[in-house]
Amino acid sequence: MRIFRPKAVSVACSTAIALSTIAAGAASATPTRQASSSSPLVIAGVIAITGSSDFEGQNQAGGVLPAIYAINKAGGVLGHKLVYKGVDTKADPADALPAVQQMLATTSNLVLVAGPGSNSAPTIVPVLNRAKVPMTAVAGESAFDRSPYQYFWRLFPPDAANGTAMGLWAKHKGYTRVAAVFGTDTGSQGDLPGVIASLKALHIPVVKNIGLTPDQPSYLSQVRAVMAAHPQVIMTESDATTAGTFFGELKELGGLVPIIGTEATFTAPWITAVKGALGTALFKKDFTSMITAPSSKTAAVTAYEQAVTADKSQVPSPWQSYLSNPFSITYWDGIMVAALAMTMAHSTNPTVYNKYMADVANPGKGKTVVYTYAQGVAALKAGKKIQYFGASGLINFNKWHNSFGDEEAVGSNGGSQPLKFGIITAQQIQAVPVVGVP
């Protein structure tokens, strides 16, 4: 589901051997377990920070940096301040492996990884798990739907769930002819199987399935092929530049129909590119994205919005875009859960606090619901069991460390807040027989 544009990676034998050696070295390097008194704790953002996929790092920074700000303002974790360390994967496993190896070998007091993302996760997750580093990933691949990794935690819907929600929304809208237009890069392809499988299960024909090679100067042949199939709606994900070109040409040839995008389309670069190609009026009229259902206006949402606003000089521009960015909100909640787990465990040692991640988040009998880090710390100090209800809503990890809830159909007029159209519940998603939906 996530938007990634991987570079070409050599599969020559010598390269494979080199990558295996790097992975083994990274796995054997273990960060400092228990932080010394009052020393800062490191949150490492393992994500694409530079290159064509730098928006991934921007999405992450929009949630992680405000979370660190809010936790430090509340006194830190067990007397420790949090600090952020960026680890640039460049959206390429060949770059991610040595970067993670260096991080593990040189970083003291590493307590959590925010990430990794989809493109590098299959390579990096096993390495981090062997190093016993908890991670809050935004990788949607089905390989993690029943994750065997003890230190892997995902607060984001798997790709198949997002694709199924798109199919259910199409059914709700009464569409009977769908075109699938997805980028051919690894990240954009993530939701496509769920889209196709859910449409089949819902008896909605896919009249055309088109792949877009990223960043081509024109997609006229693909545009004409889609138009010839006469779809009522287009389901899509691609990088922003590709989407702007494709939908701009579709508009020029008079073939524009309503658009349903994956969660990854509800990000500032994608919205900016496609709105620029279509114009604000058409974009507002025709664009819908299926995203993790924003929580109602709880204290968690208020705390998140206040922290983003207070820390706006530190996050990438435009800071307002993170107020409703589903990726940023998920990163925020992941940091909050980890910080509360450390507090409950009375330890910053990842091998100790990791098992408390679900304990501080999942609902349960006799638990006190808290919406902020400060509330959670106060309740734990009072001897209470807690349920952290996040800015993204209910968090309820299953035995594979996956949590996802309802999804919402939203639009955009270019502002910082989504236009809300309707909810697809987790129960509705799970009722559709699609492989990859937990």
Residues near 409 by beta carbon (within 8 Å), at least 6 away in sequence: 169, 260, 288, 289, 290, 420, 421, 422, 423, 424
Residue 186 has pLDDT above 80, yes or no: no
Buried b (16+ CB within 10 A) or exposed e, 227-252: bebebbbbbbbbbbbbbbbbbbbbbe
For range 252-274, the mean pLDDT: 94
Query: 3-46: per-residue pLDDT in tens?
Result: 333 333 332 333 233 333 333 344 444 455 666 667 999 999 99
- Domains belonging to the chain, first-starting first, are 159-294+401-431 (3.40.50.2300)
Say if CB 409 and CB 294 are below 8 A apart: no
User: Does the structure show a pLDDT above 50 at 340?
Assistant: yes
Q: Are strands 287-292 and 152-154 parallel, antiparallel or unpaired?
A: unpaired
Lowest mean pLDDT among 24-38, 52-66, 175-189, 295-309: 24-38
Question: Could you give the C-alpha distances from 22 to 33, 99, 219, 279, in angstroms and in order?
Answer: 22, 10, 39, 48
CA distance 421 to 435: 27
Q: Give the range among 117-121, 133-137, 422-426 with minimum mean pLDDT.
A: 117-121
Write down the pLDDT at residue 28: 41
pLDDT exceeding 90 applies to what percent of the chain?
A: 74
pLDDT band at 398 (very low <50, low <70, confident <90, very high): very high
Helix 220-228 with 240-252: angle, nearest 10 deg: 60
Residue 27 or 319, more confident: 319
Q: What is the pLDDT of residues 297-318, one digit of tens each?
A: 899 999 999 999 999 999 999 9
**pTM of the prediction?**
0.82
Q: How far is CA 408 from CA 1, 261, 275, in A?
A: 16, 12, 20
**pLDDT tens digits for range 148-159:** 999 999 998 888
